Chains A and B, each alone.
Chain A
């Protein structure tokens, strides 16, 4: 199958990529752009591990076709570090035990970022609701909630 070309903004950088047109955004990121920070747990939209931000909104990259992303902004975990500094969520997730095996962590991070971009000071319940599409089998979620709250409390 002939490759298709795509131009979009990936982690703030203009990016051009050629890939088989049937590929999902998840596959394009991992296989064609070598950005393996975005994970997969089912490739059916069930586990939430592949979440990325598309134009600032969390989407499951296994349910988005690569060809849908032309001209749009995609943010993955690799784009959270700015000027060589971890995002506050990355700092608090690492410090407070919010990442155990780390496999679902990129999805939780970008989803939490989308929440904080929209709400300066979400309640615990709002945090729970915002993250409900991501499954974590390690932590029991509590340290994730605490890490999100600590990122709110700390310097933004």
Chain B
């Protein structure tokens, strides 16, 4: 390997350090006009009347749009087509777009918003999930399982009650994970125009151009073949740019109506309203264990605060219960999950999508179990690690597992044995583990086509163009694409141009979400490159009279492995092949293996393979102020193989960073305006000053260990790294706080106030913890019983639940039959 595995400047590195990367708001077109959105000032209301005539009459205003211009709904999941570009008759949160002004410049558009008259009839505001459960009417949406319950599920794998009866000890704990948001530094922006043929072009900071393409075709009712979506490189995504958004629909419609380019760039405040971030999740874990720590069974209940729209929420709900079994062996498992609508910005997928919340609960509970059984928590985890190449209770097929090695590496690096329960009061260490998908096994909408496609064009110059729909969001997907092709063809990254994220030019890749790009695009790229290599080899073999299987592609040459002097330049190989076959191009594609799950709901969780991480966090807690600092984090990540170790390390450290923010300070929370105002439920602090995120001074020193044990399912053995390493850090912080000062903080963010409250509770002789104490009555459906593999199950449900709901089709992925 000359390129794979070698730390290397990313292919787009020069553009990024010279300021030449062209983000969406950097696209400037002649005759461009600007769009601003009027957003709802009430959290839940019926729109009685909208009068735009005064705004329309303002000088410089070209167009004013309202919900009447957007009669067709859309949404990322086929089962949740519940959004309109502009509110039709109802607003559902403060910030819900109501009208749009397109004007000669931003200021004129912004000022015209004040001249739109909207009359609202307020409706009951649902601020908390408990309210949504208590009051079915008025409904925030007229779809969903019932009342204001969007989705409620219950999946049971084996006899969990018997497992608890067989256990030596049964632990039951309740946790709360507060919501938080992605906070990409780039605000969402989009610009739409007609191309010279009259067709629509949309440039947008989106992670999922293919899904935006589909949503535009639906919502605007124009043929998809007449729409081109170009995903500009994202200035950070983290899941926050994975939905089709209101502003994309609005500028697209406006550009078609005005026949001139229309741009929008959201303000930072508006980015907080787009949200789609981490769901607040209340959860309980009931876990049966034997005295040696092995788990007999687990029952998990989650309640998700979904906010005002569906977004990815059905998938998010299943994800809160999907991956518990992938880290540790759990012979019997019952998951109940419920997502409710509330009148807040919609929640969706943020890095880790639905799994960090329940991972937080699971890993803290394991820490409690370990202490109770007097087992070192690192040792406990080593005892219960799931076996590689196995099928879990919920029919997830796991591949290689480097988790035990991760635990060994971090405990050694952190000097765990000499620190755990041995540091002075106020200092502590905590450990936690996790796993994550290397790509969702099923697409958002049901289909049998590949998840990723790569096309190569080989030029006579020796230059190669690689086309793929994958989207560069900073993670380095262009670099992975180029590296895989360069390695196979024996040329240098600079010889290859990546053309990505353009629905007119590039074959479909489903998008930069679910940590799917490296594995899926990488495999497609390898296939395409191998096919091109075969064409070249045949032509060179004939020319040199050397058998094909003796030809090597390296150093921009194709040569005889037994006589390196006999060979041709790569460019000449292309010419020979072009003379023999005609224009040289090739394609490659990747489709994930069929899931073993055959039950409804089994579409969320399957992946070609899973990554694993272990983290040890060291904290300093001042017991007098509750102030908490994190000086050091040790993290080991089972990457399979690091294609570019520089970028892999960046993903690990970036994950740790984002996790520290979630653990200690970040929260998307809301408050009521005073009654003398509207009493509306508003975002507490939609600004970067008040929404605290870690600065250079807050960031701990991170010691990263990469565990490389190539997985045959990944390109050159690679697994994911973008999301998994975030997961263990939050619970490791909580476990370290306990080690430091002996109180349990069973929710995030872990703030000084909560630490002091827990210390006060202990001083008053109460339970030394801070966190939720009760879990509401949630009307989960009757469980769908799926016997696990070791009970003779075949992946199908044994019984249909008594209360069946609508078919979910592709939302949770659906099930391939």
Contact = CB atoms under 8 A, between A and B. Distances in A.
B563 interface: no
A91 B18 CA distance: 10
Interface in A73-125: 76-78, 80-81, 86, 89-91, 93-97, 99-106, 109
Interface string B471-483: 0011110000000
A44 B18 contact: no
Question: A interface, how many residues as a size bin?
Answer: 35 or more
Interface in A126-147: 127-129, 131-145
B158 to A, nearest CB: 40
Contacts of A34: 28
A37 B19 contact: yes
Contact of B185 (A36, A86, A90, A136): A136
A142 B704 CA distance: 11
Interface in B721-748: none
A60 interface: no
A97 B16 contact: no
B23 A39 contact: yes
A109 B646 CA distance: 19
Interface stretch (B63-71, B231-239, B289-297, B528-536): B231-239
A38 B9 contact: no
Nearest to B17: A90
Interface stretch (B126-134, B315-323, B694-702): B694-702
Interface string A38-71: 1111111011010000000000000000000000
Contacts of B22: 36
B235 A102 contact: yes
A99 B653 contact: no
B688 A135 contact: yes
Contact of B233 (A102, A141, A145): A102
A44 B688 contact: yes
Q: Which interface residue of A35, A90, A137, A145 has the most chain B CB atoms within 10 A?
A: A137
Interface string B453-480: 0000000000000000000011110000
A13 to B, nearest CB: 16
A40 to B, nearest CB: 7
Contact of A78 (B19, B237, B475, B702): B19
Nearest to A130: B696
Looking at chain A's contact residues, the main secondary structure is: loop
B9 A42 contact: no
B350 to A, nearest CB: 12
B699 A103 contact: no
Nearest to A81: B18
Given A97-B647, A102-B12, A36 B19 contact: yes
B238 A137 contact: yes
B656 A140 contact: yes
Contacts of A40: 25, 187
Contact of A99 (B13, B25, B695): B13
Interface in B116-161: none
A45 to B, nearest CB: 8
B185 A135 contact: yes
B253 interface: no
Given A46-B687, A47-B268, 5 more contacts: A41-B186, A128-B696, A133-B695, A135-B688, A140-B658
* A-B CB proximity, top 10 nearest: A37-B19, A101-B474, A102-B16, A103-B235, A140-B657, A94-B13, A140-B653, A77-B19, A46-B688, A36-B26
Interface of B: 9-10, 12-23, 25-26, 28, 182-187, 233-238, 267-268, 473-476, 646-647, 649-650, 653-658, 687-689, 693, 695-697, 699, 701-702
